[in-house]
């Protein structure tokens, strides 16, 4: 399988700040690849490096095998969907979509036809004559998508494109983007700070922290087998147990992660391969589909326990805050974590 984008030891420095620090990634052709991380973690800079809006301070970027370092944005076969959509306010929707074809000298009849097809594809057929200001946020988002896709790029870059939409619309667009990517078979590189978005859409996710990549993996592995403390805490919620307690429970000095939903209240005798801790039930949060219990352990650490509310009957919470409780989990559910960032992937 060919590589759509390949980063080799890429760094980008702004003054003293290393926005991207020796990052290496291989993005497969046709993959839905997400870059996930908090703001300032370097994910957007990586996207801009691929688009050509930034040039690397060191390292090499290859796009479909060709060295892209030093190429201007207009010399690259990638297109971007911008966070603020960046639609041209003085052009109508059709001219916006046809812009890429126009500057490449495609004949007028063909570019109008292709622009209308692209608008059709994002369910905005018949909106060609409108100006961007007359559209809603979700519609502008689709126009931006059509404008990028009409050029038939081999790699589509999406810079937090759903960030400005409300929750319902965002979920709907997530599904549509995923469907579109399968249908077109082109590489999508999706930047987001929303971990559920990254998990639900991507084939693989790279987790960024402080300019470096912590882990690149499938959503399932990322959640079930986080490599570092940062990944365990950023992707989903996790209990990271450190220090003496970690050694006592797992037998290793490294911290480990245990997901709240893998912890359960103690009942009956301790089974083989299980560990048990005791603590004071501090807080109970009812969250609808689940209830979260917050325990204070003897050493002062907090441990979260999440119990799915699978019964339709309105059962009152089985425990009250202030109770002393024992909780258990399977040894296999513990994932040993590394604190150091693994630079290589």
Partner 1 sequence: MNTLAIAPTPAPGSPLRRFSNLLYRRPNLYLSLLLVPPLLWFGAIYLGSLLTLLWQGFYTFDDFTMAVTPDLTLANFTALFQPSNFDIILRTLSMAIAVSIASAIVAFPIAYYMARYTRGKTKAFFYIAVMLPMWASYIVKAYAWTLLLAKGGVAQWFVQHLGLGPVLQFVLGIPGVGGSTLSTSHLGRFLVFVYIWLPFMILPIQASLERLPPSLLQASADLGARPRQTFMQVILPLSIPGIAAGSIFTFSLTLGDFIVPQLVGPPGYFVGSMVYAQQGAIGNMPMAAAFTLVPIVLIAIYLSVVKRLGAFDAL
Which residues are near partner 1 by CB under 8 A? 51-53, 72-74, 78-80, 82-84, 86-90, 99-100, 102-104, 147-148, 151
Q: How far is the CB of 53 from partner 1 (least distance, A)?
A: 5
Q: How far is the CB of 135 from partner 1 (least distance, A)?
A: 16
Q: How far is the CB of 308 from partner 1 (least distance, A)?
A: 42
Return the closest-CA partner of residue 188 out of 197, 200, 175, 201.
201
Q: How far is the CB of 143 from partner 1 (least distance, A)?
A: 12
Return the closest-CA partner of residue 22 out of 54, 65, 67, 58.
58
Judged by beta carbon, residue 86 or residue 224, the one nearer partner 1 is 86
Judged by beta carbon, residue 148 or residue 241, the one nearer partner 1 is 148
Looking at residue 157, what DSSP letter applies? E
Judged by beta carbon, residue 110 or residue 244, the one nearer partner 1 is 110
Neighbouring residues of 256: CB distance < 8 A, sequence distance ≥ 6:
240, 241, 246, 249, 250, 334, 335, 336, 337
List Cα–Cα distances, 173 to 136, 145, 186, in angstroms: 14, 11, 17
Judged by beta carbon, residue 51 or residue 135, the one nearer partner 1 is 51
Which two three-digit tokens encode residue 177? 């983007």
Please classify residue 160 by burial: count the beta carbons closer than 10 Å to its beta carbon, then call 0-12 exposed, 13-18 middle and 19+ buried.
Answer: buried
Judged by beta carbon, residue 82 or residue 265, the one nearer partner 1 is 82
Return the closest-CA partner of residue 280 out of 327, 247, 240.
327
Q: How far is the CB of 140 from partner 1 (least distance, A)?
A: 12
């Amino acid at each position: 399988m060919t590589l759509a984008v390949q980063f080799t030891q890429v760094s980008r420095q702004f003054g003293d700040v290393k926005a991207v620090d020796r990052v290496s990634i291989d993005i497969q052709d046709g993959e839905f690849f997400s870059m996930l991380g908090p703001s300032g973690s370097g994910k957007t800079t990586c996207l801009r490096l691929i688009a050509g809006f930034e040039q690397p301070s060191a390292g090499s970027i290859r796009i479909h095998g060709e060295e892209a370092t030093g190429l201007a944005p207009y010399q690259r076969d990638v297109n971007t969907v911008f966070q603020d959509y960046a639609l041209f306010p003085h052009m109508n929707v059709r001219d916006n979509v046809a812009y890429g074809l126009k500057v490449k000298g495609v004949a007028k009849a063909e570019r109008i036809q292709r622009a209308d097809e692209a608008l059709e594809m994002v369910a905005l057929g018949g909106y060609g004559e409108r100006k961007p200001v007359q559209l809603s946020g979700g519609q502008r988002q689709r126009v931006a998508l059509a404008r990028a896709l009409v050029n038939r790029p081999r790699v589509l870059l999406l810079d937090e494109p759903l960030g400005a939409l409300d929750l319902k619309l965002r979920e709907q667009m997530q599904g549509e983007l995923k469907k579109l990517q399968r249908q077109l078979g082109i590489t999508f590189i999706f930047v987001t700070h929303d971990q559920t978005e990254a998990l639900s859409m991507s084939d693989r996710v790279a987790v960024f922290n402080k300019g470096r990549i912590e882990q690149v993996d499938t959503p399932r592995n990322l959640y079930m087998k986080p490599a570092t403390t940062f990944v365990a805490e950023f992707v989903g919620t996790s209990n990271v147990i450190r220090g003496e307690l970690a050694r006592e429970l797992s037998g290793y000095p490294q911290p480990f992660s245990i997901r709240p939903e893998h912890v359960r209240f103690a009942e009956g005798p301790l089974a083989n391969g299980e560990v048990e801790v005791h603590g004071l039930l501090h807080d109970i949060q009812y969250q609808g589909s689940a209830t979260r219990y917050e325990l204070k352990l003897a050493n002062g650490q907090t441990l979260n326990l999440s119990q799915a509310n699978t019964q339709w009957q309105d059962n009152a919470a089985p425990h009250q805050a202030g109770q002393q409780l024992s909780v258990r989990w399977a040894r296999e559910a513990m994932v040993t974590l590394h604190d150091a960032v693994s630079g290589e992937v």
